[in-house]
Amino acid sequence: MQIQMYDNMISPVADMLRYLTSFSYDILGYCIIEALANPEKDRVKHDGTTISLWLQSLATLCGYLNKKYPMDLTGLLQYVANQLKAHKSLDLILIKELVTKMGGIEATDEMTDDQLHALAGGELLRQEV
């Protein structure tokens, strides 16, 4: 899957895949899981601290595809669960991308004081709690 190497092609490729049949989406899901399960690929870059480009790109593609098209998430979620059972948490990037793309919820690493105050709720909420 060449999409793993060219992250700028994710959105056009996801748009192009709208012509697939439901059976083709199942096959695509299998191919994605097969690519994720490849033991020969490094999941982190050579510095050992950041997630590799291929894994990030594949996770982003999964997020776009599952937002736009009726794909079954069962296999992908089972794969992530199995990875977690094996104490391999790097594949949680898939869950992050699914939530971000499908739910429209953007994870923020650092928030300003104004953002924290806005998310804390108003006086009425504090009185209710």
User: pLDDT by residue (tens digit) across 60-93?
Assistant: 999 999 999 888 999 999 999 999 999 999 999 9
| Type of residue at 78 | Q
Domain that holds residue 103: 2-128
* pLDDT > 90? residue 105: no
State how many domains the chain has.
1
- C-alpha 57/C-alpha 55 separation (Å) is 5
| Residues contacting residue 117 through CB under 8 Å, at least 6 positions apart | none
Please report which confidence band the pLDDT of residue 129 belongs to, taking 50, 70 and 90 as the band edges.
low
Residue-wise pLDDT tens digits, 26-51: 999 999 999 999 989 888 888 888 88
3-state SS, residue 21 = coil
Question: pTM (2 decimals)?
Answer: 0.77
Average pLDDT, whole number, for the chain? 86
